[in-house]
Amino acid sequence: MTQPPGTGSLVDQLNDLRRQVAELARKAPSMPACRAALTLSTVKIGSGDTFAQANWGAAEDPFGWFTPAAGGNFSYITVGLSGYYQLTYRSTTTGLASGAVAGSKVTLNAGNVANSVASDLVVSSGQAEGCVQSAFRARIPLSAGDRIFWSNYCSTTTGSLVASSFGIPTECTVQFISSR
C-alpha cells in the first residue's frame, strides 16, 4: 500500500524516490520512421515535375523502408505498418529568377502528381539562398505496403535541387504516429 509523502522510514522514502526518478528517466519507445535525404546537390529540375531519382539515400531507415531509384524507377518509401503517419518533404531549389515558381509534392503509391497528398509552392525572390519548400501532412492514414514518392517542380528550366541549405537537408520523412 502506498504511503503519503514524508511517511515511513527514511529508507522507504529514499526507495520511493529512486523508483520515481527511474520511471521519469525511462525512455519512451521510438516510433517507426524513415528519412531519405538528397546526397548530392545540383540535381537539375526543369519546367515540370521531377521525382526523386538518383542521389537519394537512407539517412534514417531502421526497418528497411527506403528503396533507392533503379532501372528508371523513382526512389520511394514503403510503409511497413498500418496506421496514421506524418509526412514531411523539405527541399531547397536554387538558381531561379525573381518571380519563378518552385514547388514540392508528396504522392501516394505512384510517381504521379495526381496522387498528391501534400504540396507546397513558393515564388522566388531571385535571391542566392533559393526557395525553401515544405510539403507537410500532419496526419494521414496509410496501410502497410503503401508507397510514398516525392517530387519537385519549377516554372523555368534553370532550377537546381540542393542537398542542404544553411545546414538544413533536403529530405523526405515518413513518421508513424499511431495505430488506427
- pLDDT at residue 155 is higher than 80: yes
Interatomic CA distance for residues 112 and 5, integer angstroms: 62
CATH number of this structure's domain 31-178, picked from the four choices 3.30.2130.10, 3.40.50.300, 3.90.1150.10, 2.60.120.40: 2.60.120.40
The pLDDT mean for the chain works out to: 88
Could you report the per-residue pLDDT of 31-77, keeping only the tens digit for each? 789 999 999 886 777 777 889 988 999 999 999 999 999 988 999 99
In the predicted model, what is the mean pLDDT of residues 163-169?
88
At 19 the three-state DSSP class reads helix
Q: Against a cut of 0.85, is the pTM above it?
A: no
- Spacing of C-alpha 83 from chain mean position: 16
